[in-house]
Structure 1
Amino acid sequence: MKLCIVTHNVIKGDGQGRVNYEITWEAIRRGHYVTLLASQVAPELRENSQVQWIGIPVKGWPAEIIRNIIFSWRSAIWLHQHQSEFDLVKANGAITAIPADVNAVHFVHSSWLKFSAFKATSKSFKNVLNPRGVLYDFYQWLYTAANARWEKKAFSQAKIVVAISNQIAKDLLEIGVAPERLQVILNGVDLQEFSPGTTDRKIWGLPDGVPLALFAGDIRIPRKNLDTVLQALVKVPELHLAVAGITEGSPYLQLADSLGLSDRVHFLGLRHDVPQLMKAVDFLVFPSRYEPFGLVVIEAMACGLPVITAQTTGAAELVTPESGIVIPDPDDAEALAQALLSLASDRALRTQMGKVARHIAEKHSWERMAKSYVDLFENLNS
């Protein structure tokens, strides 16, 4: 089979990129030939004789929305000329203007648009917003609104639409995707890279002898919901929090200071050593307001960590009462505080939950996910 995958990146260190990286390797193992229409591809794939990389350069353009438009336009021109050469084309969302046979959906922008950055912003968050933050919020809203329009057309044109979680499947049904064209394939995790263990907290300047939670995500935007985590943390005075995420342009350092949390919240910046960092903490807290899946959830579970998340996070469907805590409302600071207290105060509970979490994660390897995708491709092509 000759397969074409249209995606921005095919690399390990990227959510959608990792999915397509694993799919490509599984297709190679089965003897298929893969053309990658992408801006960036891992060297080990570029060197493989069964892989053809068609580069779509977008570097240098000033904003993501512009880069995406350029990518869509350039990839569509190439596909218009070469699509007939392939047995199947896979794309992600509204990435290209040419219809794909399989469209894998990692985000439903129209669902997030219902909340919008402004509606989702809490009062405490607004109090510390600066003009740059307001502009960033407006840009996020514009980006989301544009994608919401483009993606509906892309989904309607695909033979099969793959949702990366049951939450995304529900969102897709709400915007008119027919159930018979919809399939759910959950994202996976690297069970070797993310594994249980311990490491010295001093590597990151984190305190010993205290319960320590981890929050990891983009802390420049309200969607990830660090503001509610900080509000809840006020009510759990013995708990410390490590925060992994880009701090430039984030209002949460100021918010933590205004809440009197500066000595208990440790902003670590963008981290490329999250698997090691997870070995230094006691549990993950990630109550995102809207998260199609949330790789950080299953990665923490693979590390043997209990997880506190919200029903609005796609990966919450993996979190059982024996492996973590799922709160119904991501903005319920009181419920979140109770969840934090439950884990912060009970080492034995954390240990038991962590074991169950690892067991659940072991059922969701990247290899298993990739096999499901390639099985789908082969069935469609049979």
Structure 2
Amino acid sequence: MKLCIVTHKLKKGDGQGRVNYEVAQEAILRGHQLTLLASEVAPEIEQNSKVNWIKISVDGYPSEFIRNFIFAYKSASWLQKNRSEIDLLKINGAITNVAADVNAVHFVHSSWLRSPVHISRVRRDAYGFYQWLYTALNARWEKQAFQRAKVVVAVSEKVAQELIKIGVPRDRIRVIVNGVDLQEFIPGIASRQKLNLPENVNLGLFAGDIRTPRKNLDSVLQALVKVPDLHLAVVGSTDGSPFPQLAADLGISERVHFLGYRRDIAEIMRAVDLFVFPSRYEACTLVLLEALASGLPVITATATGGAELVTSECGIVLPDSDDVEALAAALSSLASDRTLMQQMGQAARAVAQQHSWSTMAQTYMDLFEELQQHEEHSSHPDLSPSSGSISLPFGTASAN
């Protein structure tokens, strides 16, 4: 198969880029020819003889909006000239102007625009207007891209439901949850002293962008007031963040440990007892899977994409991200029962083991190969399907 993936980055350390990195590795392993339209590609993939990297340079442009627009234009220009040489085209959202066979959706901008914590509702200034415009235009372009794709992959059931709301037929949606590195994120014990964290106390963890209210650290801090026997480690840049001051105003600064932006999140997860992340809007967060893989009981909310993975055996899913009383009760129930936390942690690891990066990549490649087989049979109606083949109910939208 001649497979083409269009993505800004294809490397580890980048959410969407990591997904495409793993898919590319699986494609290479299966012997497919791979073309990458990307601005940045990991060296180990770029140097493979089966890979043709078409570099889409966007360096020097002043904003993400303009960089994305230039990327879409340049990638579409290349595809319009070379699309006939490609068997299957995989893209993400509205990243390019050419119709795809598979569009993998990590974020639905129309849903984000309606969120009460969208940046334009929090900041009534030029930056807020810019974010509104950026989201609104992406929502429009995405809807067109989803309608033209043969298959739309949602990274969580939450995203699947959001796609249905904007008119994508359910029978064209596949849910493929993002993966997790089961070797990097693993249960164990790490030195709290080395991490400058308190010893001999119950310790929770919150990780995410703490410069905006979207991740909902404010509710976690308010709930922490009601759980005096629990400390909280917070990973995320404090530059411009209002939450250190909020912790001080609530009188809990001694129990809240702001660690700043960190790259050793896997080690930090081995040093804590539970993970709390009741985000107000999330498509599918990698950090939730990383916590499960680390053997941590998880407290989250239905607004967090991927929350469907958290069973009652391994965590607590709150129906309302802003219910401080329910959040406090959940934190208290775990902090007061170390045996329960240990049992939930074991169940959490078992859930994560079903979602390795390799399992995710294999699922994508199985889908691509099914589509290619279906296309070949459609092109040759005189050939009867082989025994055990799958009849796919996908649309017949073709690429430009």
Task: Tell me the TM-score range normalised by the shorter chain.
Answer: over 0.9
Partner-residue secondary structure (3-state), 1:314: coil
Per the normalisation by structure 2, the TM-score is: 0.89
- Alignment root-mean-square deviation, CA: 1.7
1:116 & 1:60 partners in 2: Cα distance?
33
Partner-residue secondary structure (3-state), 1:204: coil
1:94 & 1:150 partners in 2: Cα distance?
6
Partner-residue secondary structure (3-state), 2:254: coil
8 Å Cα contact 1:117-1:137 kept in structure 2: no
2:120 & 2:337 partners in 1: Cα distance?
32
What's the % identity of the aligned pairs? 64
**How many pairs are equivalent?**
373
- Show CA shifts across 1:131-181 (max 9, x none): 8x9555444333222211111011011011011111111110110001221
8 Å Cα contact 1:120-1:222 kept in structure 2: no
Q: Does 1:337 align with 2:328?
A: yes
Give the residue type in structure 1 aligned to 2:151. I
- Show CA shifts across 1:10-59 (max 9, x none): 11111111111110011111100111111111111111111111111223
Aligned to 1:317: 308
Aligned to 2:229: 238
Aligned to 2:41: 41
Partner-residue secondary structure (3-state), 1:113: helix
1:83 & 1:116 partners in 2: Cα distance?
40
Q: Does 1:273 align with 2:257?
A: no
Aligned to 1:5: 5
1:59 & 1:228 partners in 2: Cα distance?
39
1:186 & 1:300 partners in 2: Cα distance?
15
Q: Does 1:61 align with 2:52?
A: no
Point out where structure 1 has 5 or more consecutive residues left out of the alignment. none
Q: Who wins on radius of gyration, i.e. which is larger?
A: 2
Point out where structure 2 has 5 or more consecutive residues left out of the alignment. 374-400
Q: Does 1:50 align with 2:59?
A: no
Per the normalisation by structure 1, the TM-score is: 0.94
Give the residue type in structure 2 aligned to 1:89. L
Pick the aligned partner of 1:190 from 160, 164, 181.
181
Change (3 A) 1:331 1:137: farther
1:50 & 1:208 partners in 2: Cα distance?
51
1:343 & 1:370 partners in 2: Cα distance?
34
Give the residue type in structure 1 aligned to 2:248. D
Pick the aligned partner of 1:361 from 334, 337, 352.
352
TM-superposed CA distance for 1:118, in Å, is: 5.4
Give the residue type in structure 2 aligned to 1:88. L
Q: Which runs of 4+ in 1 moved over 6 A?
A: none
1:138 & 1:344 partners in 2: Cα distance?
42
- Show CA shifts across 1:322-363 (max 9, x none): 100100000111111111111122111110100010011111
8 Å Cα contact 1:117-1:140 kept in structure 2: no
Change (3 A) 1:199 1:137: farther
Change (3 A) 1:305 1:134: farther
Partner-residue secondary structure (3-state), 1:103: strand
Q: Output aligned runs, 1:236-315, within 5 Å.
A: 236-315=227-306
Give the residue type in structure 2 aligned to 1:107. F
Aligned to 1:24: 24
Give the residue type in structure 2 aligned to 1:209. N
Q: Does 1:164 align with 2:158?
A: no
2:186 & 2:81 partners in 1: Cα distance?
45
TM-superposed CA distance for 1:63, in Å, is: 2.4
Q: Output aligned runs, 1:138-149, within 5 Å.
A: 138-149=129-140
**355-364 or 136-145, which deviates more:** 136-145
Give the residue type in structure 2 aligned to 1:356. A
